[in-house]
Amino acid sequence: MKIAIIYASTEGQTRKIAHHAKETLEGDGNDVTLRHATDANDLRLAEYDGVILAASVHAGRFQTELVDFAKDHSSALNAVNSLFLPVSLGAAGDDETEWNALRQYVRTLAADTGWSPARVEHVAGAFRFKEYDFFKYWAMRWFESSKDPSVPAGVDREYTDWDALDDALRDWTRA
């Protein structure tokens, strides 16, 4: 299969996830093109058997670059087999309120862009304290200790389940 992966990332975890997806899909024999959302406008999406978009949640929103890309290419995206990978810390837990919020962010993205992803697979992200500015650092320290009291505050932690991601990618390519 010929697959395009287009992503946006603020602290780097979605970039890591996009690169991992490329490796997995290439390992399975697919031909994969990986681009950042600001560098993907020249891709002819109709030529791909599948297109993956990935972006992370920050205060309920996805990166503007990814939203703009989805808006500019909504018709082409709706015409291909598309997969959206929203990355968040809400997806690391089982809090129903957080999950409802995550689903709402995806609905809002669809309404704002006109792109309805054929499939959505939520992916758990990470705390990356070295990437935060002063305000984000303290906000995320508080968020981390309230979310996971077993982790010392201010310590990086990755929640991404790489095996589950691989399973989801393979299931999508099979379908």
Ligand X SMILES: Cc1cc2nc3c(=O)[nH]c(=O)nc-3n(C[C@H](O)[C@H](O)[C@H](O)COP(=O)(O)O)c2cc1C
For residue 18, with 0-12 CB atoms within 10 Å meaning exposed, 13-18 middle and 19 or more buried, which class applies? buried
Q: Which of 77, 83, 89, 165 binds ligand X (CB under 6 A)?
A: 89
Kind and range of the H or E element at 82? strand 81-88
Residue 14 in contact with ligand X, rule: CB under 6 A: yes
From the CB of residue 71, how many other CB atoms can be counted at a distance below 10 Å? 14
Q: Which of 51, 126, 168, 169 binds ligand X (CB under 6 A)?
A: 126
Judged by CB under 6 A, how many residues of this single chain contact ligand X? 21
The residues, any chain, with a CB within 8 Å of residue 88's CB and separated by 6 or more, are 56, 57, 102, 122, 123, 124, 125
Q: Which of 29, 42, 44, 59 binds ligand X (CB under 6 A)?
A: 59
Q: Which stretch binds ligand X (CB under 6 A): 11-19, 21-29, 39-47, 161-169?
A: 11-19
Residue 173 in contact with ligand X, rule: CB under 6 A: no
Residue 113 in contact with ligand X, rule: CB under 6 A: no
Residue 37 in contact with ligand X, rule: CB under 6 A: no
